[in-house]
A and B are shown apart, each in its own frame.
Chain A
């Protein structure tokens, strides 16, 4: 794991050495790298927002390592060429590290004869620590290692959530990965596989958190690392965990599996804080901005300036809590809602995840293991039943939610629909058996 002690000290010495060398080189030598004209990109150095072009030029012009100067110089040349031609000039290929199938995004230049310095410019996807936490020291260690093996360019993070180390050659992939792997980092997913997962900041710093987002994310994705590193699914499977229905990781819209913290008991109301808020903002403000915006009219401001919440009708949307963070809070009986099938446009259009488990407790190890097993069932079902290049949401659209739920063994619940069927064209000759199932389940739940 993370090597405390010696390693950071070595880094400091190394950096001191590097900056001395840099100073020395700047004095003594004229850069030997080709400087391509970039009149269009230069325009992106104007303005107040930080400029990625200025960043690139710093590496091209100031870095002590000529390998980096020339590689980023080539990148700038090729990018200018893209701006001129309005076309991309990278193509894919196959590059991987020993023992794994995916995780490196290979990029070979199609205009390498003009910009040979960046003819190979592969990206390494690395799974970030859950919740995207870093110490300055670990960031420096990552950057130091990439500086040795790559271009000195990195992104925290790509849209799926990976750390992206951008730009290096095939032979640098293995030694770079081995280093990171030795201090606790692992490659991310790419291709038809379980992908790198994401968790919101949640319990670490957010009063709305209803679950241990980071723990949950690691339980769910780390169990399936084999499926992440060796792409063998019909298509991708993304997991995102948000601690409350604000869904800061955009899980419903962007993940095949969205796990979202929620509570089933009463919302906590601190009436003294409510009164203080009303005194500060006025009744009108509270009515306009809090109670009137409730989607189910579940909250009202009483004459004595307290809030009355109808918890049976509250759908846990978070709005009132977001506005009155001191006065209102989620309840104590927390768990998660699981929604399945979110994805972006390809192939049948954007889809949101829909509820397959309205509420699961995840307090005990047993409860967490149940969710992990359920995830396994869902991945297996996807592997066996999806067509090639079909996402889970599209598969469910094709086979119907009922078949999906039966396939993975989940119970029906009216919370899974926004409304029941409206067309009578359906065969219902099994009605009585289904009714019996419903009552049996109810009885089972009552005795449990």
Chain B
């Protein structure tokens, strides 16, 4: 070990990816011509030079133990070319320069318990957050929700049979780190925070917390002679924004913290402009260990989408065509007063026309 004297960090920032890149990709950087998908889970990219690179895409548990990781690297070194990358949805990708290496690798990958797929019109790996496993504010366990759901959707990960790609995301608080998705399964709190008044003075910077509330529902107060905060419970929208900076304002609750499902988020500019996801279902129990109610609803929406959407229609494109009336009719989901927006800019979401679906 080095001496006790602390070492100043080298502020090198993000490393150069080139040093870890497959030589065929380095050689053809910026010079790719087209790609094909020879089978689900495999991409074949062809460069103007005629060089080819095959990519095998693999779904994992996202959090990797060192044994799984070494199995992954062993496959890369023994059967592949030793190069790996990860997509932003934590799919693993092996790159190899010849088709002959693909089949033996797939066999080894599947033998290792990992799943080949996630390319093109599949339900690819959900992007998700930490949850009970490691976050300090979570209302649920994203890893558990995703694992239980993907057990039931794994066939759709392996087969390219959806109208277009399906990005699912999961977030375990209303900050929504999981991001936008064709389908999002997110925490929805339904009761105001329960305040441990005796702890507030020591744990929380009160003016900061007052400023943090999106609807100005928090005000300073005295309880039993101690400075604390109180919440106007009529105003409170139960967003949980006060909880991270002030843990005594406990928002999580074993019963009243629920799940909601949102659909139609799309990051791409293809066809229409990018879209945010919209609320379609709520009040879903946060039900570990396998969250069957949430998975059942997701499957119900996906079934209708798969049957009804045209090729290349993402969830949002499909709904734009059939209308929200069509969406609620076809899925049989109830439309409630909570579906009508009353946040900033809400008027833009109302129908100011006679365009009516029948």
Contact = CB atoms under 8 A, between A and B. Distances in A.
Contact of A51 (B8, B12, B61, B140): B61
Interface stretch (A26-34, A203-211, A301-309, A428-436): A203-211
Contacts of B83: 133-136
Contacts of B9: 97-100, 177, 181, 186-187, 229
Interface in B84-99: 84-88, 90, 92, 95
Which of B86, B139, B179 has the most chain A CB atoms inside 10 A of its CB? Answer: B86
A387 B257 CA distance: 30
Contacts of A153: 63-66
A86 B254 contact: yes
B2 A79 contact: no
B290 interface: yes
A170 interface: no
Contacts of B129: 159
Interface stretch (A193-201, A373-381, A401-409, A437-445): A193-201
B271 A317 contact: yes
Contacts of B14: 127-130, 186, 196-197, 217-218, 221-222
Interface string A305-338: 0000000000011110011011001000000000
Given A2-B19, A207-B35, A253 B274 contact: yes
Interface string A143-187: 100110000111111110100001100000011011001101111
Given A82-B141, A247-B267, A87 B274 contact: no
Contact of A87 (B1, B32, B252): B252
A134 B128 CA distance: 22
A385 interface: no
A339 to B, nearest CB: 10
Contacts of B310: 288-289
A346 B114 CA distance: 36
Interface residues of A, number: 136
Contacts of B214: 346-348
Contact of A203 (B20, B29, B73, B265): B29
B202 interface: no
A83 B64 contact: no
Contacts of B288: 40, 82-83, 86
A364 interface: no
B143 A130 contact: no
B82 interface: yes
A194 B62 CA distance: 25
B241 A346 contact: yes
Interface bracket on B: 35 or more
A13 interface: no
B73 A139 contact: yes
Contacts, number: 374
A174 B88 contact: no
Interface in B1-24: 1-2, 6-21
A137 interface: yes
B69 A139 contact: yes
A48 B154 contact: yes
Nearest to B252: A87
Given A48-B115, A86-B288, A153-B64, A159 B174 contact: no
Contact of A246 (B252, B269, B272): B269
Contact of B270 (A82, A98, A319): A319
Contacts of A146: 66
B270 A246 contact: yes
A250 B344 contact: no
Contacts of B290: 43-44
B193 interface: no
A152 B87 CA distance: 22
A131 B90 CA distance: 13
A69 to B, nearest CB: 12
A147 B66 contact: yes
A200 B143 CA distance: 24
A352 B274 contact: yes
A88 B136 contact: yes
A97 B9 CA distance: 9
Contact of A166 (B21, B63, B115, B272): B63
Contacts of B20: 129, 133-135, 138
A161 B88 contact: yes
Which of B17, B138, B180, B343 has the most chain A CB atoms inside 10 A of its CB? Answer: B17
Contact of A295 (B84, B272, B344): B272
Contacts of A319: 270-271, 312
A91 interface: yes
A228 interface: yes
A349 interface: yes
B10 A52 contact: no
Contacts of B64: 55, 153-156
A140 B76 CA distance: 11
A356 interface: no
A129 B32 CA distance: 21
Contacts of B247: 91
11 contacts: A50-B59, A58-B67, A88-B132, A88-B138, A98-B8, A136-B82, A153-B63, A155-B63, A204-B21, A221-B14, A293-B271
Given A41-B289, A207-B35, A252-B267, 6 more contacts: A52-B61, A62-B67, A99-B9, A135-B83, A139-B73, A319-B271
Interface of A: 1-2, 15, 40-41, 43-44, 46-53, 55-56, 58-59, 62-63, 75, 79, 82-83, 85-92, 97-100, 105, 107, 121, 123, 127-140, 143, 146-147, 152-159, 161, 166-167, 174-175, 177-178, 181-182, 184-187, 196-201, 203-207, 209, 212, 214, 217-218, 221-222, 225-226, 228-229, 245-254, 288-289, 293-295, 316-319, 322-323, 325-326, 329, 344-350, 352, 387-389
